Amino acid sequence: MKILVADKISPKGVELLRQQPGFEVIEAYNSTPEKVLSLVKDVHAIAVRSETQISAEVLAAAPLLKVVGRAGVGVDNVDVEAATARGVVVMNTPSGNTIATAELTFTHMLCGARPVPQAAASMKAGKWDRKSYGGIELFRKTLGVVGLGRIGGEVAKRAQAFGMRVLAYDPYLAPSRAKAMQVEGVTLDELLKQADYITVHMPLTDATKDMIDEAAFEKCKKGVRIFNCARGGIIKEMALVEALKSGKVAAAGLDVFEEEPLPADHPFRGIPNLVLTPHLGASTAEAQESVGIEIAEQIIDVLSNGIIRNAVNMPSIDAAALKILGPYLDLGTKLGSLVQQIAPQQIASLRFTYFGKVCEIDSNAITRAIERGFLRRISGEEVNYVNAPMLLQRLGVNVDVVKSNAECDYTELIAVEAIDGEGKSHSAQGTLIGKTAQPRIITINGRDVEVPAEGKLLVLENIDQPGMVGLIGTLLGKDGVNIADMSLSRITPGGTAYMVVLVDTEPSEHARKEIKNNPAIKLAKFVQL
């Protein structure tokens, strides 16, 4: 087995690979794309960090390649889709930088409380200015943690050790999990109003982009301190600039930015009460050693034992099986995503039911696909087919899988159901249609519909009265939104009806508000699959 270490990882990780019988290790750091293409022709594994690009061209040039291991979290430099098509495992090391990022966050918090960087710079400039650099304590202050995943949880532990009260906002976190961690689960508005310190630990998604904006700062205490070592773009940068200048925010610390490297003329660089670091979250000797050793161990497991950990795609089955399962995985992912988008944020349990031919195949991979689909707008790049069950468990969501022998109208059917804290069900069912096995949604919340499981959907429940189709068509037309397909469903005339509209583009916020505010509309959800 030949392993190409294309980017510099921990020497201990490289040595671990060299110690394996039958392994030949090639270290080729800072190679040109052309050099990489020439090196991969007979390799079985590639280890990278963020520098080397593993493109579709590189994958095509590596017929023996079985695994690409990324020593770190993001896999932006790996063409995951092309790797999956070629049956190549792509793995990362999502937990290796947890402690490093948590400690950097706490370092920023301490520098926000006590202006050590500014005082140090003053001393280096030959001054002795004690009056200008007074601070406050963390003890008995309130910390608001936005996102209580791995890193947010570690920050919460450290804050508790400092005698801080910890509030946590995580819309997908079960109350039982918050109680076990001895934090107070609150709404985002409550957190903003009560916190003396705020730190964000969410993935960057459509829902979290600019989550902390001008309106959010308005709700905060005067003199709040805020920190971001997660992803640039969660805190709206220009809103933070104004909040720092006005004194609404007393101090801030950032390790991540919307544009990296941070432009030389960015307003952040001129603000004295703002501490900046150049994306150092994982930049500790221990974290780099940890991810280097971890990715080496994972590569060894795949090549020697066939064990796959922290995969970001689904190649843990052979090519023949993947060909059969592929359409089911696609359908499962989309059903999971659909149900997550129509259900409330806090879910107590999930139930997946398989009918017909689906029961005859290994449904474990399909279950993972549904879980990944449900989580992908919640957990961002962290979620994959391997860690999805663990992430749901961390959120306190129970998963029940049922293979049913009950009769149904389809030869194969997948039903996904989310149960909220009040016992209410939110569900969707889907099947595969035609010789090409196209995924199709056939029910939403128990209502019969039929729309492709793809693209952008407007899901509406309305009073069954004349003119509703025309009303929606007119509103979307005024908004410049083209309707590609539509499905209508009702149980009894004059009751409520369902309308599922497949659109080419997302309706504007104004159009969506107009739809939701119509008294005849009982439910309006925009869903993106």
Looking at the structure, tell me whether residues 109 and 252 fall in a common domain. yes
In a domain, 397, yes or no: yes
Q: What's the confidence (pLDDT) of residue 315?
A: 44
Looking at the structure, tell me whether residues 305 and 341 fall in a common domain. no
Looking at the structure, tell me whether residues 19 and 84 fall in a common domain. yes
Write out the chain's pLDDT in tens, 529 residues.
999 999 999 999 999 999 999 999 999 999 999 999 999 999 999 999 989 999 999 999 999 999 999 998 878 899 988 887 777 889 999 888 899 999 999 999 999 999 999 999 999 999 999 999 999 999 999 999 999 988 999 999 999 999 999 999 998 887 888 888 999 999 999 999 999 999 999 988 888 999 999 999 999 999 999 999 999 999 999 999 999 999 999 999 999 999 999 999 999 999 999 999 999 998 999 999 999 999 999 999 989 987 778 888 754 455 466 678 889 999 999 999 999 999 998 899 999 999 998 988 878 889 989 999 999 888 876 676 767 887 898 889 999 999 998 888 889 999 999 999 889 999 999 999 988 889 999 999 999 999 999 999 999 999 999 999 999 999 999 999 999 999 998 878 888 899 999 999 999 999 999 999 999 999 899 999 8
Looking at the structure, tell me whether residues 327 and 428 fall in a common domain. yes
3-state per-residue secondary structure call for 296-332: HHHHHHHHHHCCCCCECCCCCCCHHHHHHHHHHHHHH
Looking at the structure, tell me whether residues 149 and 194 fall in a common domain. yes
In a domain, 380, yes or no: yes
Looking at the structure, tell me whether residues 415 and 388 fall in a common domain. yes
Looking at the structure, tell me whether residues 217 and 109 fall in a common domain. yes
Residue identified by tokens 């792509």 is 90
CA distance 372 to 333: 6
Burial class (CB in 10 A: 0-12, 13-18, 19+), 273: middle
Which of the listed residues 405, 425, 453 is the one where a domain comes to its end?
Answer: 453
Letter for the amino acid at 322? L
Burial class (CB in 10 A: 0-12, 13-18, 19+), 320: exposed
Which of the listed residues 426, 453, 480 is the one where a domain comes to its end?
Answer: 453
Q: CA separation (Å) from 78 to 55, 120, 291, 318, 411? A: 6, 41, 17, 21, 38
Q: How many CB atoms lie within 10 A of CB 363?
A: 20
In a domain, 281, yes or no: no
Is the pTM above the cut of 0.85?
Answer: no
Q: What's the confidence (pLDDT) of residue 314?
A: 58
Domain count, the chain: 4
* CATH code for the domain of 389: 3.30.1330.90
Looking at the structure, tell me whether residues 117 and 264 fall in a common domain. yes
Q: What's the confidence (pLDDT) of residue 526?
A: 92
Looking at the structure, tell me whether residues 259 and 291 fall in a common domain. no
Q: What's the confidence (pLDDT) of residue 492?
A: 81
Q: What's the confidence (pLDDT) of residue 320?
A: 61
Q: Closest Cα to residue 100, out of 66, 73, 124?
A: 73
Looking at the structure, tell me whether residues 210 and 221 fall in a common domain. yes
Q: What's the confidence (pLDDT) of residue 367?
A: 93
Looking at the structure, tell me whether residues 52 and 120 fall in a common domain. no
- CA–chain centroid gap for 34, Å, is 33
Q: What is the set of active-site residues?
A: 231, 260, 279
Strand (E) positions, 163-215? 165-169, 184-185, 197-200
In a domain, 35, yes or no: yes
In a domain, 282, yes or no: no
In a domain, 247, yes or no: yes
Residue 508's domain comprises 455-529
* CATH code for the domain of 524: 3.30.70.260
- H or E element at residue 45: strand 45-48
Say if CB 227 and CB 201 are below 8 A apart.
no
In a domain, 173, yes or no: yes
Looking at the structure, tell me whether residues 141 and 103 fall in a common domain. yes
Which of the listed residues 453, 473, 507 is the one where a domain comes to its end?
Answer: 453
Query: Strand, coil or helix: what is 288?
Result: helix
* CATH code for the domain of 208: 3.40.50.720
